[in-house]
Amino acid sequence: MPNMDYNILIHKYLTGEISPQDKKLLEEWLAASEENQQIFDELKQIWESADDEEEEMADHTFQEEMEKLESAVQDSVNQDKLIRRYQRTSRIRNLVLLAVVVVAGAFAATLYFKETPVNSLSFSNTENNLLVLPDSSRVLLNRNSSLTFNSGETIREAILHGEALFEVKEETRPFTVSTGGVSVRVVGTSFIVKSYADSTVQVTVISGKVKVQFNNQETTLVPGQKSLTTHSGTLTKSVNDDPNFNSWYTRKLEFKNTELETVLKLVEELYQVTFRVNEKKILGCRFTGKFDNTRLEDVLKTLAFSLDIEFTSQLGNYYQVSGSGCVP
């Protein structure tokens, strides 16, 4: 098991949700060194001391406690090597949760169990996670995505599975993103890379300029442009005319005379639900409208009223879609 996974085991232990198998792995790790045991004891002590804590934690207290944890766990790691979580919690219990949870629902923290400065990091998630890399570049991971980052004196390399927004810190070392046979090379810019299983790879530039390479083909993208790999092995470049290319983090959807089939697909991706349609003909109905961080219930009400359809909730985040729909 990778070192960073022990953070999750400690969290499971402190919350009483650890399985017998995971408990055995944790016990083996604790027995491996006195340092491991010391780290565990200190986190456990802080966790238990938070039981009666009811007052909100001020910013300076947060900083003091975080510095204490950093010093106890990894004196050799510089502050600029620490990957911080930006959502500050209001209780000491949540501070400890931040310290021990790296993957599950956290923005991410540095590897606590390394004795040397970190230059290789791996992340995966089920929710949108904001990562601040050791070079101060920022990466917002979409759901069900993972990232591995390596850096050295002359390189900065990221390997992506899924989708992510990159804001690359400009410096002399180039920054390369590799995914699905595609290589994206930048110096300082912001862009989105989307690469899921059984799909093509799409790169969309928001600012700056990137070079995209695929199958001995290369193209340069500037803001407002995107590239797409095809199943035939070619690399195309076009204007980005999709208003919803970044809806997964802006939580905004915009439709202009858009077929319901496309609308439902985007709503599924954003709200993590599934639609089952009784009458396939209603998928051709068209909708025009905008949603800005709108609740799912209100989105469905709007679609139902506009298109004369009905959404019936089913178990497991399923919705049955029925009705006469648009009438020619």
Q: How many CA atoms lie within 13 A of 144 on its CB side?
A: 8
Please calculate the CA angle 122-125-131 and round it to the nearest 5 degrees: 60
Q: What distances in angstroms separate CA 46 from CA 53, 101, 170, 177, 256, one per listed residue?
A: 11, 15, 39, 39, 53
Give the class (CATH, top level) of 119-241.
Answer: mainly beta
pLDDT at 302: 94
Report pLDDT digits (tens) over 209-263: 999 999 999 999 999 999 999 888 899 999 999 999 999 999 999 999 999 999 9
**Residue at token pair 């961080």:** 293
Domain with CATH 2.60.120.1440 in the chain: 119-241
- Whole-angstrom CA distances from 311 to 144, 251, 276, 306, 321 are 26, 21, 9, 13, 5
Q: Which residues pair with 131 in a beta bridge?
A: 139
**Residue 52 above 90 pLDDT?**
no
Question: Residue 173: which of 193, 148, 152 has the closest Cα?
Answer: 152
pLDDT classification of 93: cutoffs 50, 70, 90: very low
Mean pLDDT taken over the chain: 76
Q: How far apart are CA 192 and CA 109, in angstroms?
A: 23
Which residues of the chain are in CATH 3.55.50.30 domains? 247-322
Lowest mean pLDDT among 54-63, 183-192, 286-295: 54-63
Is residue 276 over pLDDT 50?
Answer: yes
When the candidates are 3.40.50.2300, 3.90.700.10, 3.55.50.30, 3.30.390.50, the CATH number that belongs to 247-322 is 3.55.50.30
Q: How far is it, in rounded angstroms, from Cα 108 to Cα 124?
A: 10
The rounded distance, in Å, linking the Cα atoms of 322 and 288 is 19
Residue labelled with tokens 């912001």? 190
Q: What is the mean pLDDT of residues 277-294?
A: 92
Task: With a cut of 80, say whether residue 325 has pLDDT above it.
Answer: no
| Amino acid 103: pLDDT | 30
CB atoms within 10 A of CB 50: 17
For 292, what's the count of Cα atoms within 13 Å in the CB-facing half-sphere? 0
Q: What is the pLDDT of residues 25-38, one digit of tens each?
A: 788 878 888 877 87
Residue 74 pLDDT grade (very low, low, confident, very high; cuts 50, 70, 90)? very low
Answer whether residue 311 shows pLDDT above 70: yes
Higher pLDDT, 312 or 68: 312
User: For residues 228 and 236, is the Cβ–Cβ distance under 8 A?
Assistant: yes
